[in-house]
Amino acid sequence: MRYDSLLDSLGRTPLVGLPRLSPAPTARLWAKLEDRNPTGSVKDRAAFFMVSQAEKEGLLKPGSTLLEPTSGNTGISLAMVAKLRGYRMICVMPENTSAERRQLLEMYGAEIISSPAAGGSNEAVRVAKQLAADHPDWVMLYQYGNEANSLAHYETTGPELLEDLPTITHFVAGLGTTGTLMGTGRYLREHVPGVQIVAAEPRYGELVYGLRNIDEGFVPELYDESVLTSRFSVSSADALRRTRELLDREGLFAGISSGAAVHAALAMAHKAAAAGQPADVAVMIADGGWRYLSTGAYSGTLDEAEARLEGQLWA
């Protein structure tokens, strides 16, 4: 396949069957490999669409500064696009994000502002919103509320899935900004009667929940509950276990949110198999495992990794 430039190669990622993990020949899992994007994660879609939309609206000029609260993948995607388009990139992220993410960001020329680990990504959002208010000339695309995030999936991920898997019965993905599920979910629900849109939400650790006043929680502005048909809370232990199963049984080296999504996808597939219903469950592999190696998630026994990582996987 040939493209004029790296950004043109965005999307159109492979959908690969998981015959060893699938519970039955008629209840199958299909992994959408989003690590096959320009910077290696699903966020490339959202980043490209958000920047393009901002350019169309005249919000960005050569030398503009982009500011974004991000745990890493969005920052990496935006930093790449910023580099190619001539913008300055500032990322606000929790101080406990993994070393690989910081390294990648710096390689792409991004500047990092660390927010406290306590409060996680939601604290990073607060810090970023304050910085945006203090610097009105900076542009915060704001992945948690920018419709171009979900639109990217409505226009690309959804159609790709339907084209590759016309018999799709379920779409399962991790829930973070909610962009992937909202955009892909909306598209699939418009075109496939009865399709199930299933969110796999990470069970975060104490640090992320700990400081929250229960009335000052955070629900991404993009989130529209009516697009989902179910939402599961997946523990770090289960996410890790499935991530390792993907590697051990299917040879697929995926990131931890993919393990969480596979956990929920397997539950859906088993339920269908038990009911004698066919199922074609597409599951989002948001990134590869590379950016998590330094967390120790893939080293030692599963029990050792679980003990080491409990409460540490998410930010």
Which residues from 32-51 bind another protein, rule CB under 8 A?
Answer: none
Q: Are strands 27-33 and 15-17 parallel, antiparallel or unpaired?
A: antiparallel
Give the amino acid at 132: A
Contact yes or no for 189/197 (Cβ under 8 A):
yes
> Does 120 sit near another protein (CB under 8 A)?
yes
Q: Is 70 in the site for another protein (CB under 8 A)?
A: yes
Q: Which stretch binds another protein (CB under 8 A): 6-14, 25-33, 150-158, 307-315?
A: 307-315
Strand-pair partners of 30:
17, 282
106 forms part of the interface with another protein (CB under 8 A): no
Give residue 118's Cα distance to chain centre.
21
Tell me: does residue 289 bind another protein (CB under 8 A).
no
What stretch of H or E contains 50?
Answer: helix 43-56
Q: Rounded to whole angstroms, what are the CA distances from 114 to 59, 92, 117?
A: 26, 6, 9
Paired residues of 200 in beta bridges: 174, 232
Query: Using CA atoms, how far apart are residues 107 and 132, in angstroms rounded to an integer?
Result: 24
The reply to whether 142 sits near another protein by the rule CB under 8 A is no
Kindly tell me which of 165 and 263 has the beta carbon lying closer to another protein: 263
Q: From CA 162, how far away is CA 144, in angstroms rounded?
A: 25
Spatial separation of the C-alpha atoms in residues 14 and 34, rounded to whole Å = 8
Q: Which residue has the tokens 């075109």?
A: 191
We find the least distance from the C-beta atom of residue 62 to another protein, in angstroms, to be 29
- Which member of 22, 32, 41, 43 is catalytic? 43
* Residues in 82-101 at the binding interface with another protein, rule: CB under 8 A: 94, 96-98, 101
Q: Is 194 in the site for another protein (CB under 8 A)?
A: no
Whether 257 sits among the annotated catalytic residues: the reply is: yes
**Which residue in the set 234, 252, 254, 262 belongs to the binding site for another protein (CB under 8 A)?**
234
One residue of 136, 216, 251, 275 binding another protein per CB under 8 A: 216
The yes or no reply on residue 292 touching another protein (CB under 8 A) is yes
Catalytic residues: 43, 257
What residues line the site for another protein (CB under 8 A)?
70-74, 94, 96-98, 101, 120-122, 144, 175-178, 199, 201-204, 206, 208-210, 212-220, 223, 225, 228-235, 255-257, 291-292, 295, 312-315
